[in-house]
């Protein structure tokens, strides 16, 4: 049975890599000077980051009035960016936790980078709730902590408070999960490093990893438990983010479909971002053997699934509005599609529903340039989805006297660019300083293939064993 | 010589050498750097020098603050710091001279309110009056007399004026006093006696917004040059021909109160209230009218003439109109109107707004035919609120142009900016040997005046007023003068050579002339103190009786050539003639009709806009003859296609201060226009032909310029119907609801308290339960409440750029919705403020509990807890929350004296909104507690409610079934906005009463 499956499925890692080769290939970028391309990308990212920092500094010094918001549209770019970045993070958690529990072993090539992406995206996301405050220096009031202000507490009924918990939990769990997964690889590069500062640092962070059977066993158990802990977060974080809108009374926000719709959208956008990053990384860092067409194909199929869910959600919203008989609700959706900001709606719909339809075609899925371009479109589309939900609902709500419009200011655009600057700066540093592919896990996959090709099937192939094997081999 | 041993000694040393011990003892504790008595050494000199240099530079570092105010060592009896005192006085913002009560807190007047006891306004106060308190704390007031543009002293100014006056006396030179209508009898007498001392002295009264034709018409028809006292409260049927009596015409506050009282649907017996407005421009009154007849601007008088003809035939008299008959549908409407007026003989009123004598005579004739004189128009106790004479003004201008005026005093007027002066006349003004202005600010006339003698603020000086004959008020000072200005009363007394204080002058005049007119014989002191306390006194009129109506005086109009386009110059409610153009509250107050702020504009009809291809904000060139102005266009529904309307009162020099107004940041745009001023002065388009100031000009041309100047309009969508292409179908949103008088017992009694609830109520409200009710049928949209709230609650003014970004901060705004045909819509005004919902959506979403529900039903905003997530504002279905996007500048220290100390000044980054004037609730509770009684209905009056000239707002305890608000809530007209989302607002609205037509169909509202 297992052998038959192995014949049908192509190998996960091509190029018939040996275990030592894997270590060599993955460690190489960390052990040589970065190329010109990296420097160019890094400088651009840092420049954007600096621009964003400048914009945020100016805004905090001057006031939220430097954004294009108004009395009716109290949130726009700020919360759009927040939801966008939080959403991006979800694919990482999905790949690293859920796919791990489901034994989707193709994930090994992409999970490290996807998790790093999660962390950096959550960092970018975390900026926005902070800076969107009128008085960001009072942000800590949102947490329940013992204080000397009488019995003054925070409001447990407010979705924003839930948000603060959800996002901080998400960040802590993701960071822990990512770090625990890194330990065997840190040990590997520690062992390859020349004595010196870098090696000392790696020694500290690899926590004295010795590759013994017991170490491996505990590592695997911890990893599995953390995967179990992280799994509900894939669903919960964006569910809670969606409650920011769903619990309100504003037509277009007050919708019970939001939690599943947001989760699907988050995974959708995250997958697109993983693809964007991976397609560049495999090219720039010569990882074609590790991130293969098969990986891209699988992720494209996930995108098709999520795109369909999101598309269904868009239709359901319209149906609900129509069926509700609520004139405000009906107007909000007609206004979304045909009102003064309709172009944002059609950008969203095109990028998220129509363009991903191309991925049904196998030839498109196999063409990396096509997939790359489509992934970019999805990134744009998902940003616009949040913009459409937030701004088009607010700008024309119940009382026509309140109807306004919204145009971003230069400060807002600079802040958005700055968040991309931060994301890519962190990601580029990550590519240089840490193994972008989980070596230990990939070796397990090679072992898996070998187990089918060269060893007796009776050996079994549970995760613990194979990884343990490969781990032992690393140390050889 | 051996020292003598002392008798008593302290030690062996003293016993041996008492002198040296004494010396030591004397210098033991001296630590001066200089040894006293010893010859100073070089080092001592240097030490001393160093000390002096250091000490003197330290003392030079900062000047001790100049303290003039001394704490009252002996506290005034009954004066408690932190407690507000209220004094009755007179509003000085316009010649209406409404009775007001000024709230004085710690020695500073900080808020004006209408005097509820005053017979004319009965508690209302318009936006202009509310805002006028800022003039007291205006740091741009002229502090000292100025002579030839340089600061001078009163002695110098007086001596130069005295020289000029004595020269005029000797040479029989013309001495003229040019003033707007003055309602102060003392000042009028003072000026009269001043000018009478010269061989050629004259007091010329002229109003920038002139009603001269009404007075002149009465001179012809009744033999007396008087402005009748219009009594809207007694009028049941009102036919107004382009008189915007609810917006800006003469005494709007009084008119509004009478109008709404007369129309109240709940009175028994219900009056046959009806209001027809005939006009070309779209005015506040026109939008409010039961029937609005839109005619071309040149047809207004013709329509009136045909109405007069109908009335004449109804009364059996003959009158043949001379003008061409208007269109058939207008004629049909005029027939119906004539019948309505005729049925309400003696209880009707015909008003005519234009400043033209022939038309005014027709209006007089109509009122005479209807028997309205003596009931709805009072000529025996006439209004003294407009006394200007265009004829006198024209004569004065001719004299000035002819170089005949030797000395000209200007008071309460700004002729250079108010009047259409030709270049030659303007130069002639500059050539007047002695031009003295008494303006409190550096205005256009002050710029060419030889001497500028600033008048004091009404709140700094004694004065009086007689707005309507027989109704006198004392204007009492509430604070010592903040600068070295001098009341006009004292100035004229000084120049007349009989210097006296204003107090002496006013009291003397009252003793001699007013007190003898008192109805009952009371001692003067009693009379005076009662008038001071009440704010007014009713006395007998000393005017001669008006003659009988002279029918022969009325002549038919001539045939009028139909013009192709006409320009109308009008004044906006609030801003009026522009004397208060320095006032940021009024500049930022949205016009009740157009909702535009910070600008004037050329108002054109939608069809005209389409024809020209212009949109709101496209600059057009408005030309009449040789004069042309470039103004942004504003498309106004309901306006006649042949009319261009431009507001006066803009482009004033005193608005130059707004150049730097508003928060500064990289994308900040200026509040002022290209001329550095707010708006454009359109006075040059006025005409002075035929001894009449004419506000209607034929032959106007419009041309596009291709330039743009965005208008700061606070409301972008103007009807309750959504745009057609986005309409999901169904009736318009039931936000403004109407009830038809034809409906049996109005509408189905629907009690929202019956809505089934899954949960027990969150809020039990054991004590008070504050609530508000607003009668939309009464509300005219005048916006007095907006300014009243802004002053009461320290609401910042943000500037044009921020208004364009839709970030105005008003806690109460007036939403204006049109309904009906775009060619001739009616408008509904809906005051919108925090609804203090029981199930407040804002309260649940705040993460830090910065907005919470009180046990008395208030949705409270806790500023110092707010971190500014703006979630509450997003979740507010009414969008009444206001965010402090910036730290709005409060740099003017003097203006800051006006801040209400009971209300926190909000910093940047926090949300704010209507608090139901919680400080007033607290104040009332504290007083009740001190007096040992329960709080009673009417103890708490919110600022908006207090100011409302229409009495459209009531506030009170809904737990008290006897309170006024509880009674209003039981009114079958009651509804709540967005009732269906079950937020349970505490603000209730009473539906608009439609007096014409049938209910259009099931569930068709708004």
**CA nearest A466: which of A245, A216, A262?**
A216
pLDDT recorded at residue A461: 40
What are the angstrom distances between the C-alpha of B781 and each of B247, B282, B726, B784, B815? 9, 14, 29, 8, 8
Q: Both B658 and B788 in a single domain?
A: no
Q: How far is B991 from chain A (nearest CA, A)?
A: 17
End-of-domain residue from the set B713, B745, B761: B713
Q: Which of A134, A153, A249 sits opposite B877 (nearest CB)?
A: A249
Query: For the domain that residue B633 is a member of, what is the CATH number?
Result: 2.40.40.20
ipTM value = 0.88
The answer to whether the CB atoms of B719 and A400 lie below 8 A apart is yes
Chain B CA closest to residue A407: B805
Question: According to the model, what pLDDT value does residue B921 have?
Answer: 94
**From its phi and psi, is residue B506 left (phi > 0), alpha (psi between -120 and 50) or beta?**
alpha
Say which CATH class A37-145+154-433 falls into: mainly alpha
DSSP string of B255-299, one letter each residue: HHHHHHHHH-TTSSSPP--EEEEEESS--HHHHHSSEEEE--GGG
Would B456 be classed as within a structural domain? no
B346 and B222, same structural domain? yes
Helix (H, G, I), strand (E, B) or coil at B106: coil
Does B23 score more than 80 pLDDT?
A: no
Domain ranges, residue B631: 565-713
Nearest CB to B728; choose among A133, A330, A411:
A330
pLDDT in tens, A293-302: 888 888 899 8
pLDDT digits (tens, 9 = 90+) for B861-913: 999 899 999 999 999 999 999 999 999 878 788 888 899 999 999 999 999 99
User: Does residue B96 form part of some domain?
Assistant: no
Is there a contact between A399 and B878 if contact means CB atoms under 8 Å apart?
yes
Q: Residue A369, SS3?
A: helix
B910: nearest CB among A70, A135, A411: A135
Q: Do B770 and B272 form a contact (C-beta atoms < 8 A)?
A: no
Interstrand relation of B227-230 and B377-383 (parallel, antiparallel or unpaired): antiparallel
Instruction: Look at residue B91 and tell me whether its pLDDT is greater than 50.
Output: yes
Domain definitions of chain A by residue range? 37-145+154-433
Does residue B702 sit in the same domain as residue B783? Answer: no
A34 pLDDT higher than 90: no
**List of chain B residues whose C-beta atoms are within 8 Å of the C-beta of residue A136:** 867
Asked if the peptide bond before residue B269 counts as cis, ω within 30 degrees of 0, the response is yes
For B807, the closest of A70, A247, A403 (CB atoms) is A70
Q: Among A419-428, B19-28, B45-54, B759-768, which range has the highest average pLDDT? A: A419-428
Q: How many CB atoms lie within 10 A of CB B691?
A: 16
Alpha-carbon gap, residue B581 to B134, rounded angstroms: 12
Look at A21-25, A430-434, B110-114 and tell me which has the smallest mean pLDDT. Answer: A21-25
- Give A137→chain B minimum CA distance, Å: 8
pLDDT interval class at A314 (50, 70, 90): very high
Inform me whether the pLDDT recorded for A15 exceeds 70: no
pLDDT-derived band at B30, boundaries 50, 70, 90: low
Question: Which chain A residues are closer than 8 Å to B878 by Cβ?
Answer: 398-399, 402
Quote the CA–CA distance of A274 and A451 in Å, as a whole number: 29
Percent residues over pLDDT 70 in chain A: 90
Q: Are residues B706 and B814 in the same domain?
A: no
B113 vs B18 pLDDT, higher one: B113
Q: What whole-number distance in Å separates Cα of residue B664 and Cα of residue B134?
A: 23
Please give the interface size between A and B, counted as residue pairs whose CB atoms are below 8 Å apart: 187
CB neighbour class for B789 (10 Å; exposed up to 12, middle 13-18, buried from 19): buried
Last residue of a domain, one of B713, B740, B756: B713
In B, which residues are within 8 Å of A396 by CB distance?
Answer: 717
The reply to whether B690 and B819 lie within a common domain is: no
Instruction: Provide the pLDDT for residue B78.
Output: 67
pLDDT surpassing 70 at residue A2? no
Residues B817, B702 within the same domain: no
The alpha-carbon gap from B721 to the nearest alpha carbon of chain A, in Å, equals 8
Q: What gap in Å lies between CA B438 and CA B440, rounded to an integer? A: 6
Residue among A249, A404, A412 with most chain B CBs within 10 A, to mutate = A249
Closest CA to B686 of B905, B907, B418, B927: B418
pLDDT score, position B520: 80
The pLDDT tens digits for A217-256 are 999 899 889 888 888 888 888 899 999 999 999 998 998 8
CA distance A328 to B733: 8
Distance CA B856, CA B924 (A): 14
Please report which confidence band the pLDDT of residue B205 belongs to, taking 50, 70 and 90 as the band edges.
Answer: very high
Q: Using CB atoms, pick whichever of B719, B730, B847 lies closest to residue A160.
A: B847
Residue A305 pLDDT class (50, 70, 90 cuts): very high
Look at residue B544 in the predicted model and tell me its pLDDT: 84
Q: Which residues contact B558 (CB under 8 A, 6 or more apart)?
A: B322, B323
Residue-wise pLDDT for A239-249, tens only, equals 999 999 999 99
Distance CA B723, CA B605 (A): 19
- For B513-532, b/e burial (b = at least 16 CB within 10 A) is ebbeebeeeeeeeebbeebb
A412 vs B739: which has the higher pLDDT = A412
pLDDT at A118 over 80: yes
Of B321, B349, B383, the position where a domain reaches its end is: B383
**Does residue B474 surpass a pLDDT of 80?**
yes
Can you give the CATH number for the domain in which B367 is found?
Answer: 3.40.228.10
Residue with tokens 């959706």: A333
How does strand B471-475 pair with strand B537-538? antiparallel
Q: How far apart are CA B360 and CA A379, in angstroms?
A: 71
Together in a domain, B698 and B778: no
A85-to-A264, A351, A389, A392, A416 alpha-carbon distances in Å: 14, 17, 15, 20, 11
Number of domains composing chain B: 3
- DSSP β-bridge partners for residue B644: B567
CB A379 within 8 A of CB A273: yes
> Do B709 and B816 share a structural domain?
no
Please, which residues bridge with residue B957 across strands? B770
Which tens digit of pLDDT belongs to each residue from B816-861? 999 888 888 889 999 999 999 988 999 999 999 999 999 999 999 9
Cβ under 8 Å to B: A residues 37-76: 58, 62-66, 68-72, 74-75
Q: Is B907 a member of any domain?
A: yes
Residue B956 lies in a domain: yes
Q: What is the pLDDT of residue B625?
A: 85
Q: Check if the beta carbon of residue B436 is closer than 8 Å to that of residue B142.
A: no
pLDDT bracket for residue B998 (50, 70, 90):
low
Q: What is the DSSP letter of B753?
A: G
Distance from CA of A94 to the nearest CA of B (A): 29
- Which residue do the tokens 């919203």 mark? A317
Same structural domain for residues B651 and B780?
A: no
> Which A-chain residues 366-425 have CB contacts (< 8 A) with chain B?
394, 396-405, 409-411
- How distant, in Å, are the alpha carbons of B91, B306, B353 from that of B183? 11, 36, 22
CA of B880 to nearest chain A CA: how many angstroms apart? 8
DSSP letter string, B673-735: -TTSSSS---GGG-B-GGGS-BSEEESEEEEEEEEE---EES-S--BSSPPGGG--SSSPPTT
CATH number at residue B919: 3.30.70.20
Closest residue of chain A to B978, computed from CA coordinates: A398
Of B634 and B324, the structure prediction assigns the larger pLDDT to B634
Per-residue DSSP letter, A249: -
Q: Does the distance separating the beta carbons of B716 and A404 come in below 8 Å?
A: yes
Instruction: Judge: B878–A247 Cβ closer than 8 Å, yes or no.
Output: no
Distance from CA of A65 to the nearest CA of B (A): 4
Give the chain A residue whose CA is nearest to the CA of B723. Answer: A339
Tell me, yes or no, whether B837 and B961 share the same domain.
Answer: yes
Averaged pLDDT for residues A325-341: 90
Minimal CA separation from A236 to chain B, in Å: 19
> Which residue on chain B is closest to A390 by alpha carbon?
B874
List pLDDT tens digits, range A35-64. 888 899 899 999 999 999 999 999 999 999
Q: How far is A155 from chain B (nearest CA, A)?
A: 5
Kindly report the number of other CB atoms within 10 A of residue A50's CB atom.
13
Q: Cβ of B733 and A132 within 8 Å?
A: no
pLDDT, residue B1006, reads 37
The 10 Å Cβ neighbour count of residue B87 is 17
Phi, psi dihedral angles at A352 (to 5 degrees): -95, -25
Distance CA B181, CA B208 (A): 10
Q: Does the distance separating the beta carbons of A75 and B874 come in below 8 Å?
A: yes
Kindly identify which residue of chain B lies nearest to residue A161, measuring between CA atoms. B847
Interface contact A132, partner B, CB < 8 A: yes
Using the beta-carbon criterion (under 8 Å), do B848 and A142 form an inter-chain contact? yes
Q: What is the DSSP string of B520-542?
A: S---HHHHHHHHHHHS-EEB---
What is the band of A191 on the pLDDT scale with cuts at 50, 70, 90?
confident
Cβ-Cβ contacts under 8 Å, B723 against chain A:
339
pLDDT of residue A1: 40
Overall average pLDDT of the B457-483 stretch: 89
Averaged pLDDT, A349-369: 91
Yes or no: say if B615 and B633 are a contact pair by the CB < 8 Å rule. yes
Per-residue pLDDT tens over the stretch B162-199: 998 898 888 888 899 999 999 999 999 999 999 998 88
Instruction: Mark which residues 241-260 of A lie under 8 Å from B by CB.
Output: 244, 247-250
How far apart are the CA of A315 and the nearest CA of chain B, in angstroms?
A: 17
Provide the token pair at B510: 């009252």
**pLDDT band (50, 70, 90) for residue B759:** confident
In this predicted structure, which of A88-102, B57-71, B783-797 has the lowest mean pLDDT?
Answer: B57-71
Return mean pLDDT, chain B: 87
- Per-residue buried b or exposed e for B311-322, using 16+ beta carbons within 10 Å of the residue's own CB: bbebeeeebebe
pLDDT digits (tens, 9 = 90+) for A137-181: 999 898 888 888 777 888 898 999 999 999 999 999 889 988 998
C-alpha B336/C-alpha A47 separation (Å) is: 76
- Within a domain: residue B689? yes
Residues B688 and B811 in one domain: no
- Which stretch of A386-390, B735-739, B949-953 has the lowest confidence by average pLDDT? B735-739
B692/B808 same-domain check: no
Distance (Å, whole) CA B196 – CA B194: 6
Mutation choice for B interface testing from A80, A128, A402 by most B CBs within 10 A: A402
């Amino acid at each position: 049975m297992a052998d038959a499956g192995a014949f049908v499925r192509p190998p996960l890692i091509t190029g018939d890599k040996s275990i030592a080769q894997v270590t060599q290939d993955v460690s190489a970028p960390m052990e040589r000077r970065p190329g010109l391309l990296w420097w160019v990308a890094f400088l651009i990212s840092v420049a954007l980051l600096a621009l964003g920092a400048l914009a945020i500094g100016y805004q905090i010094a001057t006031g939220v009035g430097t954004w294009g918001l108004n009395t009716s549209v109290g949130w726009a770019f700020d919360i759009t960016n927040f939801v966008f970045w939080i959403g991006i993070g979800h694919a990482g958690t999905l790949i690293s936790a859920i796919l791990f529990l489901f034994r989707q072993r193709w994930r090994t090539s992409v999970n490290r980078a996807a998790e790093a992406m999660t962390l950096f995206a959550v960092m970018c996301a975390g900026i926005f709730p902070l800076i969107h405050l009128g008085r960001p220096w009072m942000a800590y009031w949102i947490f329940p902590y013992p204080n000397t202000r009488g019995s003054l507490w925070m409001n447990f009924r407010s979705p924003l408070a839930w948000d603060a918990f959800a996002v901080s939990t998400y960040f802590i769990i993701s960071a822990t999960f990512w770090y625990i997964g890194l330990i065997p690889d840190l040990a590997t590069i520690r062992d390859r490093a020349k004595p010196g500062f870098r090696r000392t640092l790696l020694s500290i962070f690899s926590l004295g990893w010795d590759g013994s059977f017991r170490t491996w066993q505990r590592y695997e158990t911890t990893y599995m438990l953390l995967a179990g802990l992280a799994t509900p977060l894939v669903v919960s974080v964006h569910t809670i983010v969606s409650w920011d809108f769903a619990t309100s009374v504003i037509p277009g926000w007050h919708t019970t479909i939001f939690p599943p719709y947001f989760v699907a959208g988050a995974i959708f956008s995250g997958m697109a971002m993983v693809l964007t990053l991976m397609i560049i990384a495999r090219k720039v860092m010569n990882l074609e053997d590790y991130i293969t067409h098969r990986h891209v194909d699988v992720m494209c199929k996930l995108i098709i699934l999520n795109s369909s869910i999101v598309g269904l959600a868009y239709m359901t919203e319209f149906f609900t509005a129509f069926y509700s008989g609520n004139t405000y609700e009906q107007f909000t959706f007609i206004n979304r599609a045909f009102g003064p900001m309709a172009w944002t709606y059609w950008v969203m719909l095109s990028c998220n529903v129509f363009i991903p339809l191309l991925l049904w075609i196998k030839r498109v899925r196999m063409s990396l340039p096509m997939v790359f371009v489509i992934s970019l479109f999805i990134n744009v589309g998902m940003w616009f989805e949040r913009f459409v939900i937030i701004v088009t609902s607010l700008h024309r709500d119940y009382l026509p006297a309140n109807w306004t419009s919204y145009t971003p200011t230069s400060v807002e655009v600079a802040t958005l660019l700055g968040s991309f600057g931060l994301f890519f700066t962190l990601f580029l540093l990550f590519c240089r300083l840490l193994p972008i592919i989980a070596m230990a896990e990939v070796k397990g996959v090679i072992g898996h293939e070998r187990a089918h090709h060269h060893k007796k099937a009776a050996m079994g192939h549970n995760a613990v064993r194979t990884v343990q094997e490969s781990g032992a081999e690393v140390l050889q | 010589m051996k020292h003598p041993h002392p008798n008593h000694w302290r030690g062996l040393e003293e016993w041996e050498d008492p002198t040296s011990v004494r010396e030591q003892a004397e210098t033991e504790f001296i630590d001066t750097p200089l040894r006293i008595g010893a010859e100073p050494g070089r080092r001592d000199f240097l030490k001393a020098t160093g000390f002096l240099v250091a000490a003197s530079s330290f003392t030079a570092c900062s000047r001790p603050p100049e303290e003039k105010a001394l704490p009252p060592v002996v506290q005034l009896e009954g004066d408690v710091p932190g407690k507000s005192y209220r004094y009755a006085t007179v509003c000085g913002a316009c010649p209406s001279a409404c009775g007001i009560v000024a709230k004085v807190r710690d020695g500073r007047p900080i808020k004006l309110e209408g005097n509820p006891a005053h017979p004319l306004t009965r508690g209302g106060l318009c936006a202009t009056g509310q805002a006028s308190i800022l003039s007291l704390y205006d740091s741009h007031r002229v502090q000292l007399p100025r002579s030839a543009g340089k600061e001078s002293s009163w002695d110098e100014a007086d001596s130069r004026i005295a020289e000029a006056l004595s020269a005029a006396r000797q040479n029989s030179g013309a001495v003229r006093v040019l003033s707007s209508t003055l309602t102060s009898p003392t000042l009028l007498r003072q000026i009269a006696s001043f000018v009478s001392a010269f061989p050629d002295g004259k007091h010329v009264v002229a109003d920038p917004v002139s009603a001269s034709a009404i007075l002149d018409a009465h001179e012809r028809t009744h033999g007396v040059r008087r402005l009748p006292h219009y009594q809207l409260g007694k009028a049941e049927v009102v036919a107004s021909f382009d008189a915007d009596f609810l917006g800006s015409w003469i005494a709007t506050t009084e008119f509004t109160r009478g109008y709404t009282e007369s129309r109240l649907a709940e009175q028994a017996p219900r009056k046959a209230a009806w209001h027809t407005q005939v006009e070309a421009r779209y005015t506040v009154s026109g939008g409010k009218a039961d029937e609005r007849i839109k005619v071309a601007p040149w047809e207004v008088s013709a329509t009136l003439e045909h109405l007069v003809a109908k009335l004449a035939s109804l009364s059996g008299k003959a009158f043949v109109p001379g003008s061409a008959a208007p269109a058939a549908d207008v004629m049909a409407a005029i027939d119906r109107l004539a019948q309505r007026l005729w049925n309400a003989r003696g209880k009707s009123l015909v008003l005519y707004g234009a400043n033209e004598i022939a038309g005014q005579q027709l209006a007089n004739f109509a009122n005479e035919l209807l028997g309205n004189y003596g009931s709805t128009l009072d000529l025996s106790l006439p209004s003294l609120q407009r006394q200007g004479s265009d004829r006198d003004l024209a004569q004065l201008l001719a004299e000035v142009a002819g170089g005949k005026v030797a000395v000209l005093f200007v008071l309460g007027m700004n002729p250079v900016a108010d009047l259409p002066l030709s270049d030659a006349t303007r130069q002639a003004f500059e050539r007047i040997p002695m031009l003295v202005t008494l303006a409190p600010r550096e205005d256009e006339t002050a710029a060419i005046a030889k001497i500028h003698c600033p008048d004091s603020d009404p709140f700094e000086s004694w004065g009086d007023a007689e707005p309507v004959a027989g109704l006198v008020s004392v204007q009492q000072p509430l604070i010592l003068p903040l600068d070295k200005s001098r009341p006009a009363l004292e100035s004229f007394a000084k120049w007349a050579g009989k210097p006296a204080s204003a107090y002496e002058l006013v009291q003397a005049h009252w003793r001699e002339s007013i007190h003898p007119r008192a109805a009952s014989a009371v001692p003067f002191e009693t009379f005076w103190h009662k008038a001071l306390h009440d704010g007014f006194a009713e006395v007998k009129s000393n005017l001669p009786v008006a003659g009988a109506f002279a029918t022969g005086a009325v002549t038919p109009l001539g045939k009028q050539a139909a013009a192709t386009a006409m320009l109308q110059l009008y004044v906006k409610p609030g801003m009026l003639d522009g004397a208060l153009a320095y006032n940021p509250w009024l500049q930022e107050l949205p016009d009740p009709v157009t909702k535009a702020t910070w600008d004037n504009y050329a108002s054109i009809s939608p069809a005209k806009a389409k024809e020209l291809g212009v949109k709101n904000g496209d600059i057009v060139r408005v030309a009449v003859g040789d004069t042309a102005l470039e103004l942004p266009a504003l498309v106004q529904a309901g306006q006649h296609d042949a009319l261009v309307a431009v507001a006066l009162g803009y482009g004033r020099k005193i608005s130059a201060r707004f150049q730097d107004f508003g928060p500064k940041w990289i994308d900040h745009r200026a509040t002022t226009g290209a001329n550095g001023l707010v708006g454009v002065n359109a006075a040059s388009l006025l005409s002075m032909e035929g001894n009449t100031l004419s506000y209607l000009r034929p032959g106007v041309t419009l041309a596009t310029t291709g330039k743009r100047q965005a208008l700061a309009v606070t409301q972008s969508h103007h009807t309750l119907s959504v745009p057609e292409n986005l309409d999901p179908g169904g009736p318009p949103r039931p936000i403004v609801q109407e009830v038809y008088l034809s409906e049996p017992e109005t509408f189905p009694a629907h009690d929202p308290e019956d809505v089934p609830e899954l949960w027990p109520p969150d809020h039990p409200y054991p004590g008070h339960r504050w609530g508000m009710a607003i009668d939309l049928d009464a509300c005219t949209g005048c916006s007095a409440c907006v300014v009243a709230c802004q002053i009461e609650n320290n609401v910042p003014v943000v500037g044009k750029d921020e208004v364009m970004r839709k970030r105005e901060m008003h806690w109460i705004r007036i939403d204006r919705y049109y309904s009906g045909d775009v060619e001739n819509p009616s408008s509904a005004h809906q005051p919108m403020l925090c609804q203090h919902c029981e199930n407040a959506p804002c309260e649940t979403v705040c993460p830090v509990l910065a907005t919470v529900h009180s046990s008395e039903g208030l949705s409270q905003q806790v500023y110092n807890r707010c971190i500014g997530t703006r979630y509450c504002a997003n979740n507010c279905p009414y969008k009444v929350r206001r965010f402090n996007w910036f730290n709005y500048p409060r740099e003017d220290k003097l203006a800051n004296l006006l801040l209400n100390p009971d209300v926190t000044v909000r910093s940047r980054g926090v949300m704010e909104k209507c608090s139901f004037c919680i400080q007033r609730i607290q104040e009332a509770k504290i007083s009740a507690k001190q007096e040992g009684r329960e709080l009673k209905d009417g103890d708490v009056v919110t600022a908006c409610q207090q100011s409302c000239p229409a009495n459209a707002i009531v506030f009170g305890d809904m737990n008290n079934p006897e309170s006024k608000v509880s009674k209003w809530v039981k009114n079958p007209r009651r509804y709540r906005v967005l009732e269906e989302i079950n937020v349970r607002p505490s603000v209730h609205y009473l539906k608009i009463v439609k007096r014409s037509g049938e209910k259009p169909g099931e569930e068709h509202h708004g």
